[in-house]
Copies of this chain bind each other. A is one copy, B any other.
Amino acid sequence: MSIVTIKDVAARAGVSPKTVSRVINGEDHVRPEIREAVQRVVAELNYRPNAFARSLSSSRSYLLGLFIDDPVSGYAADVQHGALLRCRERSYHLVVEPVDLHQPDWKDHVRNSITSLRLDGAIVAPPICDVAELIDLFREADVPHVLIAPSGEPGGSGAVRMDDRGAAREMTEHLIGLGHRHIALVQGPVSHSASARREEGFRAAMAAAGIAVDERAVVRGDFSFRSGLELGEALLNRADRPSAVFACNDDMALGVLITAMKLGIAVPDALSVAGFDDAASSRAAWPQITTIRQPKAEMAAAAVDILVDPSFRKKDAGSQAPLMLPHALVVRDSSGPCPAA
């Protein structure tokens, strides 16, 4: 027989299905000897509970949804991997749901996966963790959800984040410490709320060092390689070009780096470039890019923990402070002493 059911196990072990169920789910009130006997039979028969039957009957789905804007990005891949492995440890499953806000029916897709799959919880990645319309969908359906690096205080939602402000400040201090005074900032898009926090950190560090920010050297990209290319060109062709560029993600930093290369500006000798994210591209560049390591996988794993942890399911969920995970400054070869200094 190909498919082993709980009844088969029960029959073989000489107990009722319910008792087998108890053993499987690690519940109390089973005599140790019986528990062992059942476990032996489970192993013998190689029995695996049918996830659907279990979900149907228990009204828990053992399914978590990961809602992502752009599932092809490296950021998404890291987040997904972190969530996936933790789900596996907890014997949950993960369903990845791309959310394309440009499509008119994106809400239907989300509602569909919520109700049809009866998700036990949702993880919402940036930048869509800041889309109120989306979050409301989870609220309405009463689905516990954790936001990764959201903008504000997420009332009623769980949240996991890193200290974007502090990290940007550290990076800026690193550049200042190398003697740089004229530092450009390549901002991220307004839609990513982390952008604003990184800018804050940058300005805080500059202010603390008593350096005035050159406002014409604070420009805004869209986190794409291409925008880094374009903004780098604008920035580096100026007569009084900055001696360092801090880009708010690695793809843009790479764009700046390559522009410098095209223009014959040596990095890091004539120009320092810093990124943010520790994406694969920052290591596959030459020179390798100094950056901030974001705990992407760790944040996702923590989000899984929060959702799976029964204590989170209580009513006072929203009152818990957002979990803050540590980042790290990764100094590589694209940043060096200021030539003028």
Judge whether A96 is part of the interface by a CB distance below 8 angstroms: yes
Against B, the Cβ 8 Å flags (1 = close, 0 = not) of A53-74 are: 1011000010000000001111
Q: Is A80 an interface residue (CB 8 A)?
A: yes
Residues of B within 8 A of A88 (CB): 109
Which residue of the partner chain, among B95, B111, B115, B255, contacts A95 with CB atoms under 8 Å?
B95
Q: Closest CB of chain B to A67's CB: distance in Å?
A: 12
A88 to B117, CA, bound (A): 13
* Bound form: Cα–Cα A113–B88 in Å: 10
- Closest CB in chain B relative to A311 CB, distance in Å: 23
Q: Is the CB of B49 within 8 A of A116?
A: yes
Q: Is the CB of A80 within 8 A of B93?
A: no
Tell me how many residues of A have a C-beta within 8 Å of chain B: 52
Q: Give A222 to B47 CA distance when docked, in angstroms.
A: 39
Give the CA-CA distance A254 to B78 in the complex, in Å. Answer: 22
- Of B46, B51, B98, the residue contacting A84 (CB under 8 A) is B98
Task: Annotate A246-264 by CB proximity to B: 1 below 8 A, 0 otherwise.
Answer: 0000010011001001100
A225 contacts B by Cβ under 8 Å = yes
State whether B71 touches A254 (Cβ < 8 A): no
A48 vs B258: C-alpha distance in the bound complex, in angstroms? 50
Query: B56 and A81: CB pair below 8 A?
Result: no
Task: Give which listed residue, B46, B73, B96, B281, contacts A281 with CB less than 8 A.
Answer: B281
B283 to A225, Cβ gap below 8 A?
A: yes
* Docked complex Cα distance between A73 and B80 (Å): 12
Contacts A2-B142, A56-B53, A76-B77; is A71 near B48 (CB within 8 Å)?
A: no
Instruction: List residues of chain B with CB within 8 A of the CB of A109.
Output: 88
- CB atoms of A50 and B116 under 8 A apart: yes
State A117–B141 Cα separation when bound (angstroms): 25
- B118 near A52: Cβ-Cβ < 8 Å: yes
Question: Is residue A16 contacting chain B, with contact meaning CB distance below 8 A?
Answer: no
How far, in angstroms, from A267 to B140 measured CA to CA in the complex? 57
Enumerate chain B residues within 8 angstroms of A141, measured Cβ to Cβ.
2
List of B residues within 8 angstroms of A48 by Cβ: 111-112, 115-116
With A53-B56, A55-B52 known as contacts, the answer to whether A284 contacts B76 (CB < 8 A) is no
Query: With contacts A72-B78, A281-B281 known, what are 9 further pairs, Cβ within 8 A?
Result: A48-B111, A50-B118, A53-B56, A72-B74, A72-B81, A88-B109, A95-B95, A258-B284, A261-B286
Which residues in A have some Cβ–Cβ distance to B below 8 Å? 2-3, 46, 48-53, 55-56, 61, 71-74, 76-78, 80-81, 84-85, 88, 93-96, 98, 109, 111-113, 115-118, 141-142, 225, 251, 254-255, 258, 261-262, 280-281, 283-286
